[in-house]
Amino acid sequence: MKRMIVTVAAACALAVAPAVLAQTATPQTTKPQTTKPQTTKPQTTTQKPAAAGHEQHQGAAGADAAFVKEAGMGGMAEVDLGRLATEKAESADVKQFGQRMVDDHGKANDELKGLASQKNIMLAAELDAKHKALHDRLSKLSGASFDRAYMNAMVADHNEDVAKFQHEAKMGKDADVKAWAGKTLPTLQEHQKLAKDIHAKMSTATTGKAKTTGKAKTAGSAKK
């Protein structure tokens, strides 16, 4: 019995041995891992190129550029007519007003020229047809007639200027142009008030003179 067990055990050992040998002889092959290359999506940035940003900072376009050009023309006309007033006006108030136009608008014009250069905006070098026509009309007048016509023009001009500068100071897109309009606006409002006061004073004086003349004529007729 014991001999039979030993024989069976030996047979099992002989059967297992080739399998073990085969297992140890055959190299273990591992399947190579395939790793997908990591793909990163290109980052999309909204930042504009440096040149475009520089151009946007330097240039003013559209309504802002139009405002600068119109302000330049208006300022040049105010200085031109102001000089004319200092020469031809009869009233001391009108002469002083004309000189103030030369001083204040001359300073504002110099500032605007620098701003226009920075923004690549070309300002006109001479008056347009509209302002030349006004200069020619006023230059043919003198004395009280000049004073009335000049102050009428100054009231109308400054009413228009104040409205445009208020709009630009509030709605302007270009920060520099908008700031200049806001800075200049109080001076224009002073001019507007002064022009209206002088105009009203002249109108009152004309009305009083007309009444005095009318009374004198009536008295002369009664004596006859």
Pick the residue with more confidence: 212 or 135?
135
Q: Is residue 191 part of a domain?
A: yes
Q: What phi and psi values does residue 122 have, to the nearest 5 degrees? A: -90, 120
Q: Is residue 144 part of a domain?
A: yes
**Of the ranges 29-43, 51-65, 177-191, which one carries the lowest mean pLDDT score?**
29-43
Pick the residue with more confidence: 1 or 140?
140
- Cα(111)–Cα(102) distance, integer angstroms: 14
pLDDT at 186 over 60: yes
Q: Is residue 19 part of a domain?
A: no
Output the pTM of the full model: 0.67
Domain count, the chain: 1
Q: Is residue 162 part of a domain?
A: yes
3-state SS, 72-109, equals HHHHHHHHHHHHHHHHHECCHHHHHHHHHHHHHHHHHH
- Mean pLDDT for 75-95 is 97
What range does the domain containing 71 cover? 59-205
Q: Is residue 214 part of a domain?
A: no
Task: Tell the residue number behind the tokens 């409205």, with chain if given.
Answer: 163
Residue 79's domain is classified under what CATH number?
1.20.1260.10
Q: Is residue 42 part of a domain?
A: no
pLDDT at 84 over 70: yes
pLDDT at 17 over 80: no
Q: Is residue 39 part of a domain?
A: no
- Mean pLDDT for 199-219 is 69
pLDDT for the residue 211: 59
pLDDT for the residue 61: 75
Q: Is residue 41 part of a domain?
A: no
